[in-house]
Chains A and B, each alone.
Chain A
Amino acid sequence: MVKLETTLKNEKTSNSLTLKTPIIGASGTFGYNSEFVDFIDLNCFGAIATKGITLEKRPGNSGERIFEVQGGMINRIGLENVGIEAFVKEKMPYLLEHNIDFLLNIAGSSIEDYEKLAQIAQENNIKALEVNVSCPNVKQGCLEFGLNPESLFKLTQKIRQIYEGFLIVKLSPNTSDIKSLATATEQGGADCISAINTIRALGVKVDFIGNKFIKKSVQGGLSGSCIKPVALYMVSEIKRAVKIPVIAMGGISKLSDLFEFLSVGADAFEIGTANFIYPSICTSLARELNEFIEKNNFKNFEELKEQFKNE
């Protein structure tokens, strides 16, 4: 799909990432990426973001991890993952061997964690990092890194000093001031922003059984089509604040969703929850986008994107 090739470029540093298509599989929906190879057409993927990887292996949360809501779902997986060492040793060779472009999604609980992860990414020539900043900073009262502009600036800067590849920071929507966070990210030296991560939410179900109310609840991150308006708002705010490219995500499952995000300034897209419902959704979206471009006589995706910028 030559027409879909797109390059995300940080004009200030000239750091760039070329994607075969603007469609990226979001973190947490493709495992370590190797599980899907039989079912997907890799030519349709710009990249696949790995599951969030931490320094050490993590078992994740115990108890219920999924709660379905109208138009979406809440998850509290708790970053279950094999840890960076096992990822590099056991999972990465498969990705390289099969030419699967990936964004290494990393998460930490201290700046030192992120620094070590960035170091390992740098040593292993990993092309692109997506930094999950929606994690509690254990050393500083467990406040999320991504919710405070100063700590986000510092974190981004520290990673930037170590990692020379394409640096993407994935922003949390759980803020009243996304613009300051986006600015902090850009000033810290990020090449790109991806947004939005899941929205903090509480799913509650109450049954009345045998004269008693029985409550079941799951607190976690909300995703799915119901968060699209929030994501559209956040992406448009981010675009007002920064010049670096933005990978948009949040409730994307249709071609029209791609156009909506383009109209607020998105440069590429991540698809998350929709993969659970339609395992071939990324493939279909890339094909539909390609067909649209051909049918409507656009030269390529870049030209189609330009049209939105001129609006």
Chain B
Amino acid sequence: MDNYKGTIKYIGEIAKDTYKMGIISDLKQIKAGQFVSVLCPNKTLRRPFSASGFENGILSILFKLRGEGTEYLKNLKYGNNIDFLAPLGNGFDIKNKKSLLIGAGIGIAPMLFLKNELNKRNIENYLISGFKEVGEIVKGSDETIVGGSVLDNIENLIEKFKPEIIYSCGPSIVLKLVSELGIKKSIETQVALERVMACSIGVCRGCVIKLIKNNELTNASVCKDGPVFKGDEVVW
């Protein structure tokens, strides 16, 4: 982890209230599932965002307007400076297995990065994403569900595609259902969680969740031990 001063290479609204930002900096590497913590000078705390890609030294993030922090970011322009901590968290543990990727809402961001990585390694994959309405669709999936839940027809998809591993990112309720589905179908799941964070490097214990490991209940910080966890270990 280091503190980087980057410059904005591009920024634009790619879907309703959803922005994509490209940042050039000295950052050398970041994995799919890892995140960055961006300084928003009008707010006390930094804002965490999953990397949605990293190509030619340009880090991309996606963000949805949620409040004053993202409102500040939205108004940044090409050439503006941006202060961020990166790379943070553990990232997905990529397996050479037929992969199903499930992205719900803005949770698609790390899924796009992961899909790209899987493609590079010639690992067969299928990305299904879900959005509340047509205007909110972020492109790049193999299948997109609008309205309803991204999981509405998931059992049929699993029957047809026969994944050996499922990766997912989105609201807790979706990740919980994905994890339960994995247990039911005996498929490994890796889920990327989102939490309000303060330090984003594991010291303040502000974003702690419970895990069950070897029948023992333990604490894990989403920012340092996660944000990616084995779905069957998370206590929802």
User: Residues of A at under 8 Å CB distance from B?
Assistant: 28-31, 35-36, 39, 51, 59-60, 62, 64-73, 75, 77, 80, 224-225, 273, 275-280
Judged by a CB distance under 8 angstroms, whether B58 is at the interface is: no
- Cβ-defined contact, A60 with B199, below 8 A: no
- Cβ-defined contact, B207 with A73, below 8 A: no
Closest to B1 in A: A39
- Cβ-defined contact, A65 with B205, below 8 A: yes
Contact A276:B205 (CB < 8 A) given known A66-B196, A68-B196, A80-B219: no
Chain B contacts for A31, CB-based, 8 A: 202-204
How many residues of chain B are within 8 Å of chain A by beta carbon?
Answer: 25
Query: What is the distance, in angstroms, from B175's C-beta to the closest C-beta of chain A?
Result: 17
Q: Which residue of B1, B2, B3, B45 contacts A276 across the interface (Cβ within 8 Å)?
A: B45
Contact A275:B199 (CB < 8 A) given known A60-B208, A66-B207, A77-B206: yes
- Cβ-defined contact, A73 with B198, below 8 A: yes
Query: What is the distance, in angstroms, from A217's C-beta to the closest C-beta of chain B?
Result: 13
1/0 per residue, CB under 8 A from A, across B135-158: the answer is 000000000000000000000000
- Cβ-defined contact, B44 with A68, below 8 A: yes
Chain B contacts for A28, CB-based, 8 A: 204
User: Residues of B at under 8 Å CB distance from A?
Assistant: 1-3, 39, 43-46, 85, 196-208, 210, 217, 219
Query: What is the distance, in angstroms, from A83's C-beta to the closest C-beta of chain B?
Result: 13
Q: How far is the CA of A39 from the CA of B200 in the complex (A)?
A: 14
- Cβ-defined contact, B205 with A29, below 8 A: no
Chain A contacts for B205, CB-based, 8 A: 51, 60, 65, 77, 80
- Cβ-defined contact, A73 with B203, below 8 A: no
Query: What is the distance, in angstroms, from B16's C-beta to the closest C-beta of chain A?
Result: 18
Q: How far is the CA of A71 from the CA of B85 in the complex (A)?
A: 20
The majority secondary structure among interface residues of chain A is loop
CB pairs A–B below 8 angstroms (22 shown): A28-B204, A29-B203, A30-B203, A31-B204, A35-B201, A36-B203, A39-B2, A39-B3, A51-B205, A60-B205, A60-B208, A65-B207, A66-B45, A67-B196, A70-B44, A75-B206, A77-B206, A225-B44, A276-B198, A279-B3, A279-B85, A280-B3
Contact A68:B45 (CB < 8 A) given known A29-B204, A39-B1, A80-B219: yes
- Cβ-defined contact, B208 with A80, below 8 A: yes
Known: A66-B198, A69-B44, A275-B199. 18 other contacts (CB 8 A): A29-B199, A31-B203, A31-B204, A35-B203, A36-B203, A39-B3, A51-B203, A60-B208, A60-B219, A62-B210, A64-B196, A71-B44, A80-B205, A225-B44, A273-B198, A278-B3, A279-B3, A280-B3
Q: Indicate the member of A51, A67, A71, A73 with the most B CB atoms within 10 Å.
A: A73
- Cβ-defined contact, B46 with A276, below 8 A: yes
Q: How far is the CA of A70 from the CA of B67 in the complex (A)?
A: 13
Q: How far is the CA of A30 from the CA of B208 in the complex (A)?
A: 16
- Cβ-defined contact, B202 with A35, below 8 A: yes
Q: How far is the CA of A80 from the CA of B2 in the complex (A)?
A: 26
Closest to B69 in A: A68
- Cβ-defined contact, B1 with A72, below 8 A: no
Q: How far is the CA of A69 from the CA of B44 in the complex (A)?
A: 7
Q: Indicate the member of B2, B39, B85, B201 with the most A CB atoms within 10 Å.
A: B201
For the complex of A and B, the 7 pairs showing the least CB-CB separation, nearest first, are A31-B203, A66-B206, A276-B199, A80-B205, A276-B198, A65-B206, A66-B196
- Cβ-defined contact, B199 with A65, below 8 A: no
Closest to B210 in A: A62
Chain B contacts for A80, CB-based, 8 A: 205, 208, 219
Closest to B218 in A: A59
Query: What is the distance, in angstroms, from A149's C-beta to the closest C-beta of chain B?
Result: 31
Q: How far is the CA of A223 from the CA of B3 in the complex (A)?
A: 23
Closest to B202 in A: A35
Chain B contacts for A51, CB-based, 8 A: 203, 205
Chain B contacts for A64, CB-based, 8 A: 196
- Cβ-defined contact, A277 with B45, below 8 A: yes
- Cβ-defined contact, A276 with B219, below 8 A: no
- Cβ-defined contact, A68 with B203, below 8 A: no
